[in-house]
């Protein structure tokens, strides 16, 4: 049965069914004196447990929450509305913001995509982690499939002394894991650049400039994800008025040093690829000149029999050697001698 809407009828807007906040929560735990309390908690129950005890903190991990789910988290933990917007929006620049006792740190995550050397495809995949830290809670919001924090949580749970430092220890662990991933991706990209350099400077190798341009574009994307984090790490490690323990700031200074090292390597990649493109284009130009010389040499050799055949194809009766028995073999002999001489001359001059 076909539907018909008359002039007086209106279409009711479809109501979106809200998805429970628990669907976006990957893990929620309460930590007291560096140890995880047994049992399962909702985010509200976990916060009530901590505040009833007057010690410990909550660590909530979320993956790709929508605006409604994030608003529920914000109302529970008292997050600022602007902070909520930062958590929902993706593709942000790394940054650090403070809202009273709340710290907001945005980090861009990167992952290396395995690929063929000459394939023009995505090489570096990016994601995002937004970390909220308060006096008694940590809320980590992830965007992307490669930015899991399960290993970070497991490693911290095995070191209660570090976890007992509070939410700042979680902030440091997440930042340290992200910077370590930068180092891993930078090493993989460097291996790609080394392979391309070896191929470009190998004699008689075929060069595809498109793959070099693609890698350069991916390095630019990597640099945009990595470099802006430097300012935030410097503030976290050197600004004493931030709500972070002194020991955590020491750890964060070490992370900042590692970040500086990998950022410098990535800047070197960009310069190396620019030089590699120039070398590849120069080699292609040399190869084209060599091909043109070969073509010109063969054209010159082919011009000899073409010219002689053209002269004797003019159909005049009185032409030299036209009616001689030895005329035809003599013409072939002249053609062979001249073509052979041209070939030897071009070969000696490395045109052939």
Question: What is the per-residue pLDDT for 45?
Answer: 93
- Say what the pLDDT of residue 18 is: 67
Contact yes or no for 335/305 (Cβ under 8 A)? yes
Nearest residue to 145 (alpha-carbon basis) of 64, 222, 87, 69: 64
* CA distance linking residue 200 with residue 111, whole number of Å: 26
Helix/strand/coil for 6: coil
Q: 221: closest CA among 266, 190, 183?
A: 266
**What is the DSSP secondary structure assignment for residue 54, as one 8-state letter?**
T
pLDDT value, residue 48? 93
Q: What is the pLDDT of residues 148-165, one digit of tens each?
A: 888 999 999 999 999 999
Identify which has the larger pLDDT, 91 or 48. Answer: 48
pLDDT of residue 4: 38
217 burial level (CB within 10 Å; 0-12, 13-18, 19+): middle
User: Do strands 124-133 and 35-36 pair parallel, antiparallel, or not at all (unpaired)?
Assistant: unpaired
CA atoms within 13 A on the CB side of 254: 9
- Which residues are within 8 A (CB) of 256 and not within 5 positions of it... i.e. 6 or more apart? 230, 233, 234, 236, 237
The pLDDT value recorded for residue 28 is 93
- As beta bridge partners, residue 104 has 97, 132
- Is the pLDDT confidence value at 230 over 90? yes
Position 233 scores a pLDDT of 94
Query: What would the pLDDT profile of 236-292 be if each residue is shown by its tens digit?
Result: 998 888 889 999 999 999 999 999 999 999 999 888 888 888 887 777 777 777 778
- Those residues whose C-beta lies under 8 Å from the C-beta of residue 250, and which sit 6 or more positions away, are 237
Residue 119: what pLDDT? 66
Look at residue 120 in the predicted model and tell me its pLDDT: 60
> pTM score, two decimals?
0.77
Residue 137 CA to residue 60 CA, distance in Å, equals: 8
User: Are 111 and 185 within 8 A, CB to CB?
Assistant: yes
- 27 CB neighbour count, 10 Å cutoff: 14
Q: Is the pLDDT of residue 98 over 50?
A: yes
Give the per-residue pLDDT at 2: 42
d(CA 319, CA 307): 15
User: In the chain, pLDDT over 90 holds for what percent of residues?
Assistant: 40
Confidence grade of residue 308 (pLDDT, cut at 50, 70, 90):
confident
Give the C-alpha separation, 222 to 290, whole Å. Answer: 38
Task: Kindly state the average pLDDT of the residues 87-110.
Answer: 88
pLDDT of residue 55: 92
| Band of pLDDT at residue 10, cut at 50, 70 and 90 | very low
For 154-193, write each residue's pLDDT tens digit.
Answer: 999 999 999 999 999 999 999 999 999 999 999 999 998 8
């Amino acid at each position: 049965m076909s539907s018909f809407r008359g002039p007086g009828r209106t279409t009711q807007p479809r109501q979106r069914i809200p998805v429970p906040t628990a669907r976006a929560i990957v893990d929620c735990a309460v930590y007291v004196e560096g140890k995880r309390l047994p049992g399962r908690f909702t985010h509200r129950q976990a916060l009530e447990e901590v505040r009833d005890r007057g010690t410990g903190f909550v660590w909530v991990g979320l993956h790709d929450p929508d605006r409604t789910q994030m608003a529920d988290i914000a109302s529970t933990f008292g997050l600022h509305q602007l902070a909520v917007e930062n958590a929902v929006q993706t593709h942000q620049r790394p940054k650090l913001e403070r809202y009273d006792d709340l710290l907001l740190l945005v980090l861009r995550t990167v992952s290396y995509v395995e690929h063929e050397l000459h394939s023009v495809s995505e090489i570096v995949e990016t994601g995002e982690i937004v970390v909220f830290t308060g006096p008694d809670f940590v809320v980590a919001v992830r965007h992307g499939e490669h930015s899991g924090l399960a290993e970070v949580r497991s490693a911290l749970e095995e070191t209660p002394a570090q976890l007992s430092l509070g939410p700042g220890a979680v902030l440091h662990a997440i930042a340290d894991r992200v910077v370590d991933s930068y180092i891993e991706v930078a090493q993989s990209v460097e291996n790609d650049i080394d392979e391309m350099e070896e191929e470009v400077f190998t004699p008689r190798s075929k060069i595809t400039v498109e793959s070099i341009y693609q890698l350069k574009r991916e390095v630019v994307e990597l640099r945009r994800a990595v470099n802006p984090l430097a300012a935030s790490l410097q503030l976290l490690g050197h600004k004493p008025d931030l709500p972070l323990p002194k020991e955590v700031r020491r750890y964060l200074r070490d992370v900042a040093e590692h970040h500086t090292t990998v950022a410098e390597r990535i800047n070197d990649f960009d310069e190396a690829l620019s030089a590699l493109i120039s070398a590849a284009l120069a080699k292609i130009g040399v190869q084209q000149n060599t091909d043109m010389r070969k073509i010109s040499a063969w054209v010159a050799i082919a011009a000899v029999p073409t010219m002689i055949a053209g002269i004797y194809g003019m159909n005049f009766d009185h032409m030299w050697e036209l009616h001689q028995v030895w005329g035809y073999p003599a013409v072939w002999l002249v053609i062979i001698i001249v073509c052979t001489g041209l070939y030897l001359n071009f070969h000696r001059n490395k045109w052939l």
